[in-house]
Amino acid sequence: MTGEIEQISISKGGVPKYAVLQAEAGPHGLAGDVQKHPEIHGGPRQALLWITSEGLAELRSQGYDLHPGSLGENLTTKGIDRRQLRVGQRWRLGEIEITKRRAPCKQLLHYGEDIHKAIFDERVKANDPASPLWGLSGVYCAVLQSGTIRPGDPVTLLTTEA
């Protein structure tokens, strides 16, 4: 699987996150990105949040006013099927590893009281990738190789599940 970075987003805490032209990715995330609740978000196993632009388009078609960065993601990609993202996969983008699926938080209620039901269900909670909602809430990633990333950079699957 190969796609590319559509947008890189950071914020001083909370959502939405805003586009930057490039970012330094390291073990604790992107330089300049701050988590409002570091006891819940961030850290080396949740350094980056990744969501696909195709998933955002699905949610827009359901009436949600979303754009890259809206759901708090650092990386918005295009050309990668969200349904194929799995914990343990390693991706070339610097090098990142998917560490866990993201459970929605109350910050997202800004986009509608039913946003959680649109992106997360019991099957996703049970780590069942057969859920039709798989990947809509995003996946957390660890940064294994630090470096500068930019929109347009390729994103390529290196390994399947660990």
What's the burial of 130, exposed, middle or buried (CB within 10 Å: 0-12/13-18/19+)? exposed
What is the tens place of the pLDDT at every residue in 68-120? 999 999 999 999 999 999 999 999 988 999 999 999 988 899 899 999 999 99
Which of 34-38, 43-47, 71-75, 111-115 comes out lowest in average pLDDT?
Answer: 34-38
* Structure confidence at residue 4 (pLDDT): 97
CA 121: distance to chain centroid? 17
* Structure confidence at residue 162 (pLDDT): 53
The span from the CA of 149 to the CA of 22, in Å, is 6
Residue 75 backbone dihedrals phi, psi, to 5 degrees: -120, 125
Q: How many structural domains does the chain have?
A: 1
Q: What is the CATH number of the domain that holds 100?
A: 2.40.33.20
How does residue 159 score in pLDDT terms, banded at 50, 70 and 90? confident
* Structure confidence at residue 161 (pLDDT): 65
The span from the CA of 124 to the CA of 128, in Å, is 5
Q: Can you give the residue range of the structural domain that contains 134?
A: 2-159
Nearest to 77 by CA among 113, 48, 34: 48
SS3 per residue for 28-70 = CEECCCCCCCCCCCCCHHHCEEEEEHHHHHHHHHCCCCCCCCC
Q: How far is it between the farthest Cα atoms of the chain?
A: 38
Count each helix (H run) and each strand (E run) in the chain, helices first: 3, 11
Ramachandran region of residue 40, left (φ > 0), alpha (ψ -120 to 50) or beta? alpha
The span from the CA of 56 to the CA of 77, in Å, is 10
